[in-house]
Structure formats: structure tokens, C-alpha cells
Amino acid sequence: MLRHSLHKLILQFDWGKRQLQPFNVPGRKSKPIPRAAQLKGTYDATTHAEKRRACRAKWVSARRQMPETTLKALRLKLPREYAWLFRNDAEWLKRRSPLTRRRARPTSGVDWKKRDADYAIAVRAATTCLRNNPDRPVQVTRAAIGRAVGATTLLQQKLHKMPLTAQVIAGVVETRVEYAVRRVQWAAERYTLERTMPRPWQLVLRANVYSLRSVPEVNSAVEAAVHLIDLNLSLKQELTA
């Protein structure tokens, strides 16, 4: 009976050992790496080193032959070598490549001194036209002068290059009060041509200076304009009598 039980335990142990063999249990011997795989790894490392040596040699040779060349020219001459070095030897390629050249900005061919003198004359002429326009007055501003001479953008962006023109513009532009006074004078001329004697408030409304009527310069201009209209109409009546 004892011998039968011992034999049964031995059979169970052998069966369990066979069941555990497919698994990676401690003590199991790993399969040796095939000789072909070992040779392949050595071959790959050797090939990489030879490729790097060949690409470097061609790159250095090309640089010696064309010392003044650009990176773009070298890339076109050696596209494969550049691509390989860029992927596998970037630091070496960076040190052995030409520096990127910045394009010099083309110098302007504009004669700004002559242009300044020409526009200074044009600005004076445009200012005279704006002031003597028989229609409703337009305020003399830098924008209005620019529109009159056809150079709005130039006077906005390049005026610092034309000091004479800038000086002329600074001397002719109108303030709100100066513009209001000129509108009062224009309205007075209209009433004189129409042979109509307005009241002061009518002159103020026609000149559109109601918001500035309390300003001393504007108030004085209105009083002077009413007096001038009265004087001119009286003189015309005497001449036609």
C-alpha cells in the first residue's frame, strides 16, 4: 500500500513538471541567440559607421571645392548625403555647414531731398486752393492737403523724411477756431452776393459755428461780418440809386 502511494506521488510530480515546462519559470535555460542574428547586429553597426564616414567625406570635399557656397547649393549638390547626415549626424552637419546669409535690404533709390522740395511747393499750392474754394469751406488739415496733392499715404508715413514739407504743413493747418472764423467770413460773402442782411444768429447758423459762438475770436468774427455785410449792402444801394 505504501509503495503504491509513493509511486502515485512520483507520477503526479512528473506530470506537473511537464506542465510547467512551457512557461518561463526560474531556472529554465533561454535559447541561445542564433549566430546569424549576432552577425546581423555587427553588420548593421559597421554599415552605419561606413555610411557616416562616406557622407562626411563627400560633404567635407564639397565644402573644400566650393568654400564660398551656400547651404542651399550644397543641399542641391549632395541631396542624399545631406538627408542622411541630417537624420543621423545632425550636430556634425551643423558645425560643418555654411552660415545662413541674411539678405541685405535694398537701399531706397528715392531722392528725398528733391521730393521734399517738390512737395513743399505742392502743399503751398494746395493750401491756397483749399482756402480760395468758393464752395463751402473745407478745413485745412494734413489729410485734406494729402487728398489735394494725391499723397495721403506719403504724408502720413514718410513725412519725417521731408522736413521742409512738414514745416510748411505745420504752418498752414487750421485749428477749429480758425476754421470757424473762415466759415463766418464765407457765410458773410454769401449774404453779400445775395444782397441779404442777416441777423447775427442767422449768420451763426449758416456758418455752422453755433457750438463755438461764445469763443471770443468767433464772436468777434460774427460781429465784424455783420458790420461788413451792412456796409457793403449800403454801398451797393447808393451806387444803384
Can you give the pLDDT at residue 180? 95
Instruction: Say if residue 192 is in the same domain as residue 234.
Output: yes
Can you give the pLDDT at residue 5? 56
End-to-end Cα spacing for the chain: 167
Range of the domain at 220: 177-240
From first to last of its 241 residues, the chain has per-residue pLDDT tens of: 555 555 555 555 555 555 555 545 455 555 555 555 554 555 567 788 888 889 889 888 888 887 777 888 888 888 888 888 888 988 898 888 887 766 656 556 888 999 999 999 999 999 999 999 888 999 999 999 999 989 899 999 999 999 999 999 999 999 999 999 999 999 999 999 999 999 999 999 999 999 999 999 999 999 999 999 999 888 877 777 6
Amino acid at 179: Y
**Cell 535694398, located at residue:** 106
| Domain contains 124 | yes
Can you give the pLDDT at residue 201? 94
Can you give the pLDDT at residue 23? 46
| Domain contains 233 | yes
pTM more than 0.75: no
Can you give the pLDDT at residue 95? 86
Instruction: Say if residue 77 is in the same domain as residue 128.
Output: no
Sequence-separated (6 or more) residues with CB below 8 Å from residue 79: none
Instruction: Say if residue 74 is in the same domain as residue 118.
Output: no
Instruction: Say if residue 142 is in the same domain as residue 161.
Output: yes
| Domain contains 24 | no
How many structural domains comprise the chain? 3
Instruction: Say if residue 150 is in the same domain as residue 182.
Output: no
| Domain contains 197 | yes
Can you give the pLDDT at residue 97? 85
